[in-house]
Amino acid sequence: MARVHEISTTDRKQLAPLLNVDAVSDALATYCALHHPAEKLKLIVSSDGSGKPNGFLAIAQTGMDLFRPIAVPFVASSNIFQDLLRVALKPGQPVLLYLPLDQRDWLMDDLVLTETRITELLRIDPMSFRPIVNVLVLEVFTPSGLPRYEIRTKSGSYAAAGINWLGERFAEVYLEADHEAQVRGLGLSVLSAMNNHLIEESRIPLFRSDDTNKLGYDELLSIGYRATGSRTLITQILFKPT
């Protein structure tokens, strides 16, 4: 019988055998479980009869959403997933859930879902990547020390690319761009600069594509991104008050 409980982040290495650090599909779970700052992380673990972990739910405070933690499950059965959620979340406590799309039927009827979207995870193919040189691109740094690449034009147009999370092998990047920047192709320039920085550090950039993209799918392919087949349901969840 599975036992579900919270573990200290000092014991997080016991989760490593569950994960494939070279798999794109495991990249976010690997980062959260093994590398996210301990003071901003809660780990709820399911253990089998021998005490070995067989699944977990990471609850992480990140810059991806300033008001809600993200919830990243790594489990192989609906029962364990549901047990992890019930232990981790209190009624009325919202989190932003990142759930593999093929597990969406595991969501329970007593959950309220809002802001739901489906993303496709793309990765840079370093052999296909060709940097775009644009003298307008400036490198700046966030308060946490992560690099960010920006263009601010005289007209006030703006584009920026930065990092959602930074792991040992992969890093997920984001893009911000206003309409003028999109039309002028400035988004491609800053995203290319961000990708180039990560590739030089021997990390593989990842990008989540959905209907809100500031770049079209073909534009992402043109700078070296390739489909991975990994799709994620992202949604705010909370338990209905009892």
- Summarize pLDDT for 81-95 with one digit per residue, the tens: 999 999 999 888 899
- pLDDT (0 to 100) of residue 1: 53
CATH 1.20.1250.20 fits 126-223, yes or no: no
- Can 3-121+232-239 and 126-223 be said to share one CATH topology? yes
Tens of pLDDT, residues 43-66: 999 998 788 999 999 999 998 887
> Would you state the pLDDT for residue 103?
97
Whether the CB-CB separation of 69 and 59 falls below 8 Å is answered with yes
Residue boundaries of the structural domains of the chain: 3-121+232-239, 126-223
Taken in order 56, 74, 239, 109, the sign of the CA dihedral is negative
6-12 own/partner pairs: CB under 8 Å, 24+ apart:
6/42, 6/43, 6/44, 6/45, 6/87, 6/88, 7/43, 7/44, 7/45, 9/38, 9/41, 9/43, 10/38, 12/38, 12/43
Q: What phi and psi values does residue 17 have, to the nearest 5 degrees?
A: -65, -20
Question: 7-47 pLDDT, tens per residue?
Answer: 999 999 999 999 999 999 999 999 999 999 999 999 999 99
Q: Which pTM value belongs to this model?
A: 0.93
Topology adopted by domain 3-121+232-239: Aminopeptidase (3.40.630)
pLDDT tens per residue across span 194-219: 999 999 999 999 999 987 777 788 88
Residue 15: phi, psi to the nearest 5?
Answer: -85, -15
